[in-house]
Amino acid sequence: MIYIVFTFRNHHYIQDRTNKIKLVARQIKYLQIKKIMPIYEIEEILNKYKKDEDLIEQKIKEKNLVGAIENNEKKTEILGNTEILTSQEAVERNSMLLKELETVKGNLRSKAIFSPSELQWEKICKKYQEKPALPVKTWKCHLPYYV
């Protein structure tokens, strides 16, 4: 039999056959719990330190709140220092970014390594398109497109 001894901060502590108290994961749905058994001493200890726990929780919340306020102030300072572009300046900047992107893509394409068989097939396709030797009606030669 497994007994739930107590639950504290969404952690479940259980007692097994050997009377050892163990910490169990937050989700306890996979255990087959047959009987609930609170222990008086443990509840007494929890009640004793409840005030301290509440104080700690309050300090943690205050610290998180102060941190969030500081982050918001930093964000507003950063936004205050940046200049807002006009629509024409934004269009020019975006077009320059797109041109730079295309140059980078072209450089990457030129550095791409093709296997010799692909190069041979490209030559064969070009030669066949220039002078088709056989009257083939069902097959068409398409050159590969590299993006």
Specify the higher pLDDT residue, 61 or 77.
61
pLDDT for the residue 126: 77
pLDDT over 90 for what percent of the chain?
A: 0
- Model confidence band, residue 114 (pLDDT cutoffs 50, 70, 90): low
Pair 13, 22: CB distance under 8 Å: yes
User: Measured between alpha carbons, how far is 35 from 5 in angstroms, rounded to an integer?
Assistant: 10
Query: Coil, strand or helix: which one is 17?
Result: coil
- Model confidence band, residue 119 (pLDDT cutoffs 50, 70, 90): low
Q: Once rounded to an integer, what is the mean pLDDT over residues 61-75? A: 71
Domain ranges of the chain: 3-50
Q: The whole model's pTM is what?
A: 0.25
Pair 18, 2: CB distance under 8 Å: no
Cite the beta strand spans of 1-147 per DSSP E.
3-8, 11-15, 21-24, 35-36
Task: Return left, alpha or beta for 125; rule: phi > 0 is left, psi -120 to 50 is alpha, else beta.
Answer: alpha
